[in-house]
């Protein structure tokens, strides 16, 4: 879950609540779903919250939510914007993999250290969340005074260009460096470049932003040093590139709201997609950004009442909306429906249901009285789990310790250490279902049988007292193209008797008892299985069908598992007891 | 007549003329006093012995009393020191005498309180004068202490009461039992009594022959440890799962079942999880090296894709995330059992469901995480949902309050939360029944219309999930989940974990 670092002094300033203590803020924010996690070294408060309200990723957004919570602000707020002077031209050389760009100009900025830090934090947190680690959207913020824009086409006053370049097609000095590097060199030599190299290394052309003086930003990797922002910067250029226009527009909007809360003025920019470029279908090729349009959705009074289980007066519902930073109007017809306006920084409202949630939060979910739903249904267990349980009860009655082992294992445990091979016609020899990118060498496939798990457990318990009679009714799986999932899943019954006097007879006596419990007729014709001793191995044949194996485990397997007692074991398919 | 050996011994040791105490009989027969007492009562019940009980008060020295026997009573020591200091001739400052008397701590107060009481002298304005004629050697309290220390008895009750109130002796009542042969006892002995044979084990022969009636069973040391017996036990997690299942079945829930390896469609897409959601990256899921799933109902697939791309309903917005059918058809181990809920709600798992319905499962899920004391790659998820017309948040709260109450967790709290698949959503918190610590005990919510709509469900469905291991760790006190679950389990832990029910 995202964590936001909040400077409590900035929060007091932005909420006009100079009298609030840190403790009071923690309590108020808990009510909004931001949970206090701790303090940073410089005394900032850290809050964790669910990743829906990404507009709260900086102190400015947190303050805005609090002002609504305190009732200081009501309804939708949209900052005023000045008309565009700058244009972002999108050149047809732009990389196909990252076609979209957006941006804004921000003037009259007065950033102290804390405000600058907050801006950088917001940028990084947006990268991590909506930006999907910069892959979907990346933000570059520049000192506009250092950008030189000459009009590239008629009608535009000043412009910069988003284009694609050869990996070694140009040099610039990136942030945190003194060297003129090409984009390819940045990926190879610069720390930040190496971190984000995977995002663009497969591209034919690399994303680049140019002004009249040349390359000044290499999104989504790093900005150039020339346009670096510091506390002296008064005017900013914000640009975002990405794989989805809506996403980068929303990220841009959240940044603009934060800077506006610090007293800056937002100025529009035009985004001009050249012929031959991929432009966002829903917006056309000429855009004016940031997009601060208010969205509208309608929700019925009845839905709010049934979902929250509370009767409301329409004016109370409108009050809840306004205290959530939304506006709502309705006509008093027989069925009241609210037309709700949603400010552009909200990225979480996908459906009218989300508006009901806002009403619930503003009303206070704590206020709701729980009630047990007056709905009658009949309960019951699934036949398969009842059968499994009945077999477990039988095994436990015979003195077996019931086990619960992992379903994932390795080829070494499943086959090699049991002296069998995949693709052979013995129990356990089925072809494995493998994990494509295993995290650990110990868990690379699903087990095809359960006995290896039992032996692993015995191996790990040689320090404990014997006898150790263990059993499991558990999941096994093999490849099977006749299944819709291409995996055949089943349950096996496995038992192992580990004790000084463990013998074939000891295992068979117990197996017989289980089979008798379920009315299954057991025969044990002689068979061969590499895990067991020749001449002391039999097939488990239940009601005429061969469904498993029983025998004395081969000394080579025992010694390999550090076992100094004999082990006799059986394993068969649970379905045979049905 | 035949009597068990020990009864015979007691009978023979008893006298018809003199009462003999149990201790005397024990000494003579070489039996334990409690054995003699038991045998004596058995013989009394047979009418062969009479048992009399005499209660006597017994005084025993306390530790403090024993100290004074060795050192002398504090008041006596003070008196002698005062005489040495010349207090018999006139008042002497107290400090001087106390120093000389070598009295420690509380002994000073004891001496000062008792010296005037016994008439040894008097204290006036911090000065001490003693009576030269007093005779501490004749002090009855000191004499009584000496007598008790020598094992003699003291008859002067006033003195004993005084010593008891000073905490120097403990007074206790002791019952002394004594036996005497009755006339029947004498007759029996005259006629001759034989010792009955003792037997080690009850055998089939003993029972069949009826000999058991005449034998005496050898005594065992019933307090000794017996060799350990290891019965089989159901796995502690299974038992916790059984308990959960019992509760849910009792609340009207039906059990679901379905594949562990499933397509991303059922695992995530139906749940309205965007395909670029961090939990769907290869780091978090266990993708399997099998071919994609072919059979997914095409109309359902279309509706789910629509929900992702364009949203659901007139005012719905989709995600601005890529969506591909190929990804939806990929097969992986399920990261939650909500895939089963999707299969049931859509009617794919069986019949089309009409409200009302309640379903649950307690089954395994797989998460690609680091193995540590509280995280496993495989664990059990408790999953449950209720489908009905017009369910509200209040119904959700009422249902979960009832569920958790069954596990002793009352006063649960609902913290508004966010899940991609439910709205409103709540994290559930409760207090640990033993430590009182606040713990997260589940995640819940009402399925979004983007989830239920494409599945063809046109009423409300509320759902919740919880890790079973979390409940089990609470109920067993296990601190490392790996002791419980998997091939690293400690068999000793499984054998000794307390049974929960």
Q: Residue B197 sits in a domain of what CATH number?
A: 1.10.10.10
CATH class of A295-367: alpha beta
- Cβ burial of B207 (10 Å; 0-12, 13-18, 19+) is exposed
Q: Is the pLDDT of residue B281 over 70?
A: yes
| pLDDT band per the 50, 70, 90 thresholds, residue A426 | very high
Q: How far is CA B340 from CA A10, A82, B261, B302, in A?
A: 48, 53, 11, 20
Partner residue facing B394 (CB), from A370, A403, A440: A370
Best to test chain B binding among A379, A431, A480 (most B CBs inside 10 Å): A379
Give the separation between CA A456 and CA A408, rounded to whole angstroms: 13
* Residues of chain A neighbouring B287 (CB-CB closer than 8 A): 435-437
Question: Residue A140 — φ and ψ, nearest 5°?
Answer: -120, 130
**How many residues are recorded in chain A?**
578
* Residues of chain A neighbouring B445 (CB-CB closer than 8 A): none
pLDDT at B433: 67
Tens-digit pLDDT profile for residues A305-358: 999 999 999 999 999 999 999 999 998 777 899 999 999 999 999 999 999 999
In a domain, B83, yes or no: no
Average pLDDT over residues A494-504: 96
pLDDT at A328: 96
Tell me the nearest-neighbour CA distance from A533 into chain B, angstroms. 24
Q: Is the pLDDT of residue B437 over 90?
A: no
Interchain pair A457, B448: CB under 8 A = no
In a domain, B458, yes or no: yes
pLDDT at A341: 98
Q: How many C-beta neighbours within 10 Å does residue B370 have? A: 8
Binding-site residue set of B: 338, 381-383, 421, 423, 447
Q: How many C-beta neighbours within 10 Å does residue A477 have? A: 24
CATH fold match for the domains A3-70 and A81-289? no
Q: Is the pLDDT of residue A153 over 70?
A: no
- Looking only at Cα atoms, what is the longest distance across chain B? 123
| pLDDT band per the 50, 70, 90 thresholds, residue B475 | low
| pLDDT band per the 50, 70, 90 thresholds, residue A419 | very high
Tens-digit pLDDT profile for residues B66-76: 888 888 888 88
Domain coverage including residue B451: 237-261+334-496
* Residues of chain B neighbouring A385 (CB-CB closer than 8 A): 245, 255, 257
Tens-digit pLDDT profile for residues A270-316: 999 999 898 998 899 999 999 999 999 999 999 999 999 999 999 99
Give me the number of domains chain B comprises: 2
* CATH T-level fold of A81-289: Phenylalanyl-tRNA Synthetase; Chain B, domain 3 (3.50.40)
Question: Residue A294 — φ and ψ, nearest 5°?
Answer: -90, 135
pLDDT at A438: 87
Residue at token pair 């990996």: A167
Chain A residue with minimum CA distance to B492: A464
User: Which residues are CB-neighbours of A468 under 8 A, at least 6 positions away?
Assistant: A401, A458, A461, A498, A499, B491
Chain B residue with minimum CA distance to A368: B394
Q: Is the pLDDT of residue B238 over 80?
A: yes
Q: Is the pLDDT of residue B149 over 90?
A: no
* Report for A527-531, B182-186, B466-470: range of highest mean pLDDT: A527-531
Q: Is the pLDDT of residue B246 over 80?
A: yes
Q: How far is CA B59 from CA B22, B110, B153, B161, B164, in A?
A: 21, 21, 8, 10, 9
Q: Which residue in B497, B439, B500 sits closest to B467, CA to CA?
A: B439
Q: What would you report as the CA-atom Rg of chain A, rounded to the nearest whole angstrom?
A: 34
* A83 labelled binding-site residue: no
Indicate the angle between helix axes A314-323 and A352-363, nearest 10 degrees: 90
In this structure, are B371 and B400 located in the same domain? yes
In this structure, are B208 and B346 located in the same domain? no
Residue of higher predicted confidence among A44 and B95: A44
Partner residue facing B494 (CB), from A53, A401, A475: A401
Tens-digit pLDDT profile for residues B349-403: 988 999 999 999 999 999 887 777 777 889 999 999 999 999 999 999 999 999 9
Indicate the angle between helix axes A352-363 and A301-308, nearest 10 degrees: 60
Check: CB of residue A359 under 8 Å from CB of residue A367: no
Catalogue the E-assigned strands of A233-305: 236-242, 265-273, 286-289, 295-300
Average pLDDT over residues B450-472: 91
Mean pLDDT over each residue of chain B, to the nearest integer: 88
Q: Which long-range contacts (CB under 8 A, 24 or more apart) does A114-121 make?
A: A114/A7, A114/A9, A114/A10, A115/A10, A115/A262, A116/A229, A116/A230, A116/A231, A117/A7, A118/A7, A118/A10, A118/A58, A118/A59, A118/A60, A118/A258, A119/A58, A119/A229, A119/A255, A119/A258, A119/A259, A121/A4, A121/A5, A121/A57, A121/A58
In this structure, are B45 and B179 located in the same domain? yes
In this structure, are B448 and B490 located in the same domain? yes
Interchain pair A461, B286: CB under 8 A = no
Question: Residue A488 — φ and ψ, nearest 5°?
Answer: -95, 120
Partner residue facing B234 (CB), from A33, A53, A396: A396
Interchain pair A370, B397: CB under 8 A = yes
Residue of higher predicted confidence among B459 and B37: B459
Tell me the nearest-neighbour CA distance from A72 into chain B, angstroms. 23
* Residues of chain A neighbouring B273 (CB-CB closer than 8 A): none
Q: Is the pLDDT of residue A471 over 80?
A: yes
In a domain, B129, yes or no: no
Three-state secondary structure readout of B380-435: EEEEEEEEECCCCHHHHHHHHHHHHHCCCCCCCEEEEECCCCEEEEEEEEEECCCC
Q: Which residue in A392, A405, A574 sits closest to A490, CA to CA?
A: A574
Pairing outcome for strands A236-242 and A100-107: antiparallel
- Which listed CATH number (3.10.560.10, 3.30.930.10, 3.40.50.300, 3.10.20.30) goes with A383-577? 3.30.930.10
Average pLDDT over residues A26-40: 91
pLDDT at A309: 95
* Residues of chain B neighbouring A475 (CB-CB closer than 8 A): 260, 364
CATH class of A3-70: alpha beta
Exposure on the CB side of residue B278, measured as CA atoms within 13 A: 12
Provide the sign of the torsion angle of the four alpha carbons A225, A231, A232, A235, taken in this order. Answer: positive
Q: How many C-beta neighbours within 10 Å does residue A179 have? A: 12
| Residues A106-128: b if buried by 16+ CB within 10 A, e if exposed | beebebeebbbbbbebbbebbbb
Catalogue the E-assigned strands of A93-233: 100-107, 137-143, 158-165, 206-211, 214-218, 222-223
Give the separation between CA A167 and CA A130, rounded to whole angstroms: 27
Interchain pair B378, A132: CB under 8 A = no
Interchain pair A306, B364: CB under 8 A = no
Q: How far is CA B202 from CA B4, B5, B218, B430, in A?
A: 17, 18, 10, 56
Give the separation between CA B253 and CA A16, rounded to whole angstroms: 52
Give the separation between CA A235 and CA A106, rounded to whole angstroms: 6
Q: Is the pLDDT of residue B51 over 70?
A: yes
Percent of chain A surpassing pLDDT 90:
92
Tell me the nearest-neighbour CA distance from B205 into chain A, angstroms. 29
Q: How far is CA A307 from CA A357, B365, B448, B457, in A?
A: 9, 30, 12, 16
Chain A residue with minimum CA distance to B418: A50
Check: CB of residue A120 under 8 Å from CB of residue A304: no
Best to test chain B binding among A53, A382, A406, A437 (most B CBs inside 10 Å): A406
Q: Is the pLDDT of residue A433 over 80?
A: yes
In a domain, B31, yes or no: yes
Mean pLDDT over each residue of chain A, to the nearest integer: 95
Q: What would you report as the CA-atom Rg of chain B, rounded to the nearest whole angstrom?
A: 43
Pairing outcome for strands A487-498 and A468-479: antiparallel
Q: Is the pLDDT of residue A156 over 90?
A: no
| pLDDT band per the 50, 70, 90 thresholds, residue B486 | confident
Check: CB of residue A226 under 8 Å from CB of residue B303: no
pLDDT at A151: 67
- Looking only at Cα atoms, what is the longest distance across chain A? 97
Residue at token pair 């001759």: B192
Q: Please provide the DSSP assignment of A483-521 as one string.
A: STTSEEEEEEEEEEEESTT--HHHHHHHHHHHHHHTTPP
Tell me the nearest-neighbour CA distance from B461 into chain A, angstroms. 11
Q: Please provide the DSSP assignment of B237-252 as one string.
A: HHHHHHHHHHHHHHTT
In this structure, are B38 and B182 located in the same domain? yes
pLDDT at B100: 79
* Residues of chain A neighbouring B278 (CB-CB closer than 8 A): 132
Domain boundaries, chain A: 3-70, 81-289, 295-367, 383-577
- Six token digits for residue B135: 């005779």
Interchain pair B393, A360: CB under 8 A = yes
Question: Three-state SS for B10?
Answer: helix
Q: Which residue in A303, A405, A378 sits closest to B315, CA to CA?
A: A303
Give the separation between CA B137 and CA A281, rounded to whole angstroms: 120
- ipTM for the assembly: 0.93
pLDDT at A119: 96
Exposure on the CB side of residue A382, measured as CA atoms within 13 A: 14
Q: Which residue in B332, B337, B367, B352 sits closest to B256, CA to CA?
A: B337
In a domain, B251, yes or no: yes
Q: Which residue in B136, B140, B129 sits closest to B80, CA to CA?
A: B136
Q: Which residue in B498, B478, B479, B482 sits closest to B490, CA to CA?
A: B482
- Six token digits for residue B69: 């026997």
Give the CATH number, domain containing residue B388. 3.30.930.10
Provide the sign of the torsion angle of the four alpha carbons A183, A189, A190, A193, taken in this order. Answer: positive
């Amino acid at each position: 879950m995202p964590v936001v670092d909040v400077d409590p002094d900035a929060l007091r300033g932005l909420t006009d609540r100079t009298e609030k203590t840190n403790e009071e803020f923690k309590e108020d924010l808990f009510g909004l779903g931001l949970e206090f996690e701790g303090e940073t070294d410089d005394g900032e408060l850290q809050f964790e919250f669910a990743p829906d309200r990404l507009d709260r990723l900086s102190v400015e957004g947190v303050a805005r939510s609090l002002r609504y919570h305190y009732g200081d602000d009501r309804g939708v707020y949209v900052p005023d914007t000045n008309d565009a002077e700058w244009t972002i031209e999108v050149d047809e050389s732009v990389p196909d993999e990252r076609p979209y760009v957006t941006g804004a100009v921000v003037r009259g900025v007065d950033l102290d250290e804390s405000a600058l830090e907050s801006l950088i934090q917001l940028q990084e947190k947006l990268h991590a969340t909506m930006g999907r680690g910069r892959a979907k959207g990346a933000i570059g913020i520049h000192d506009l005074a250092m950008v030189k824009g000459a009009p590239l086409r008629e009608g535009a006053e000043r412009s910069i260009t988003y284009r694609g370049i050869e990996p070694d097609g140009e040099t610039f000095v990136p942030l945190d460096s003194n060297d003129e590097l090409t984009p390819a060199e940045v990926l190879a030599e610069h720390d930040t470049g190496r971190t984000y190299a995977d995002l663009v290394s497969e591209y034919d052309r690399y994303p680049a932003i140019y002004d009249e003086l040349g390359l000044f930003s290499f999104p989504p990797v790093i900005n150039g040093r020339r346009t670096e922002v510091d506390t002296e910067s008064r005017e900013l250029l914000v640009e975002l590139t990405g794989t989805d226009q809506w996403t980068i527009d929303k990220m841009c909007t959240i940044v603009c709201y934060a800077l506006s809360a610090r007293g800056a003025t937002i100025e529009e920019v035009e985004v001009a997609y050249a012929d031959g470029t991929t432009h966002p279908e829903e917006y056309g090729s000429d855009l004016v950004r940031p997009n601060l349009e208010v969205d509208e959705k309608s929700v019925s009074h009845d839905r709010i009442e049934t979902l929250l289980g509370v009767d409301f007066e329409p004016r109370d519902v409108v009050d809840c909306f306004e205290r959530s930073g939304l506006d709502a109007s309705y006509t008093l017809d027989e069925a009241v429906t609210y037309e709700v306006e949603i400010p552009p920084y909200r990225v979480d409202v996908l459906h009218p249901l989300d508006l009901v949630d806002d009403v619930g939060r503003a009303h206070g979910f704590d206020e709701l009285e729980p009630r047990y739903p007056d709905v009658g249904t009949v309960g019951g267990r699934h036949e398969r789990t009842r059968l499994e349980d009945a077999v477990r009860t039988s095994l436990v009655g015979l003195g077996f310790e019931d086990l619960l082992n992992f379903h994932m294992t390795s080829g070494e445990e499943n086959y090699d250490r049991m002296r069998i091979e995949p693709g052979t016609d013995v129990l356990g020899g089925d072809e494995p279902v493998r994990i494509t990118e295993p995290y650990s060498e110990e868990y690379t496939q699903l087990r095809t049988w359960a006995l290896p798990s039992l032996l692993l457990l015995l191996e790990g318990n040689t320090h404990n007292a014997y006898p150790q009679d263990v059993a499991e009714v558990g999941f096994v799986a093999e490849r099977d193209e006749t299944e819709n999932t291409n995996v055949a899943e089943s349950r096996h019954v496995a038992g192992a008797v580990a004790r000084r006097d463990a013998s074939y007879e000891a295992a068979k006596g117990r197996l017989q008892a289980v089979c008798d419990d379920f009315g299954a007729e057991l025969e044990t014709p002689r068979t061969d299985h590499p895990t067991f001793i020749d001449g002391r191995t039999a097939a488990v044949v239940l009601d005429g069908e061969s469904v498993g194996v029983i025998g004395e485990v081969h000394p080579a397997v025992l010694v390999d598992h550090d076992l100094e007692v004999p082990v006799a074991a059986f394993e068969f398919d649970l379905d045979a007891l049905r | 007549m035949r009597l068990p050996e020990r009864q015979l011994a007691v009978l023979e040791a008893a006298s018809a003329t003199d009462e003999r105490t149990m201790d005397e009989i024990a000494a003579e027969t070489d039996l334990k006093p409690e054995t003699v007492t038991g045998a004596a009562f058995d013989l009394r019940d047979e009418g062969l012995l009479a048992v009399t009980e005499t209660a006597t008060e017994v005084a025993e020295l306390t530790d403090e009393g024993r100290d004074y026997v060795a050192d002398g009573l504090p008041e006596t020591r003070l008196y002698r020191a005062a005489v040495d200091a010349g207090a018999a001739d006139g008042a002497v400052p107290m400090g001087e005498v106390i120093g000389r008397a070598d009295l420690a701590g509380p002994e000073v107060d004891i001496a000062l309180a008792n010296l005037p009481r016994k008439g040894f002298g008097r204290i006036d304005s911090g000065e001490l004068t003693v009576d030269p004629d007093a005779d501490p050697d004749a002090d009855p309290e000191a004499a009584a202490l000496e007598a008790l220390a020598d094992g003699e008895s003291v008859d002067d009750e006033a003195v004993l009461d005084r010593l008891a109130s000073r905490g120097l002796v403990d007074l206790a009542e002791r019952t002394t039992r004594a036996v005497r042969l009755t006339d029947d006892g004498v007759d029996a002995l005259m006629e001759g009594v034989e010792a009955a044979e003792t037997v080690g084990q009850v055998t089939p022969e003993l029972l069949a022959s009826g000999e058991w009636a005449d034998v005496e069973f050898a005594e065992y040391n019933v307090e000794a440890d017996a060799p350990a017996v290891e019965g089989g036990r159901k796995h502690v997690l299974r038992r916790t799962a059984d308990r959960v299942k019992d509760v849910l079945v009792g609340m009207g829930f039906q059990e679901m079942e379905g594949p562990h390896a499933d397509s991303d469609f059922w695992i995530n897409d139906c749940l309205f999880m965007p395909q670029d959601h961090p939990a769907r990256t290869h780091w978090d899921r266990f993708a399997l090296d099998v071919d994609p799933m072919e059979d997914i109902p095409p109309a359902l697939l279309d509706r789910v894709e629509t929900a992702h791309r364009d949203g659901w309903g007139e005012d719905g917005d989709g995600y601005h995330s890529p969506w591909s059918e190929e990804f939806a058809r990929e097969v992986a181990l399920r990261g939650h059992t909500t895939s089963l809920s999707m299969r049931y709600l859509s009617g794919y798992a069986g019949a089309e469901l009409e409200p009302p319905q309640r379903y649950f499962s307690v089954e395994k899920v797989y998460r690609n995480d680091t193995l540590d004391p509280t995280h496993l790659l495989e664990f059990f998820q408790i999953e449950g949902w209720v489908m009905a017309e017009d369910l509200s948040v209040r119904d959700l709260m009422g249902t979960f309050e009832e569920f958790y109450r069954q596990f002793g967790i009352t006063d649960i709290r609902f913290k508004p939360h966010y899940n991609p698949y439910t709205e409103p959503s709540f994290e559930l918190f409760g207090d640990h029944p033993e430590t009182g610590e606040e713990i997260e005990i589940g995640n819940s919510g009402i399925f979004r219309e983007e989830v239920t709509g494409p599945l063809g469900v046109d009423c409300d469905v509320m759902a919740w999930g919880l890790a079973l291991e979390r409940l089990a760790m609470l109920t067993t006190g296990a601190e490392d989940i790996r002791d419980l679950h998997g091939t690293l389990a400690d068999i000793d832990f499984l054998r000794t974990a307390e049974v929960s029910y």
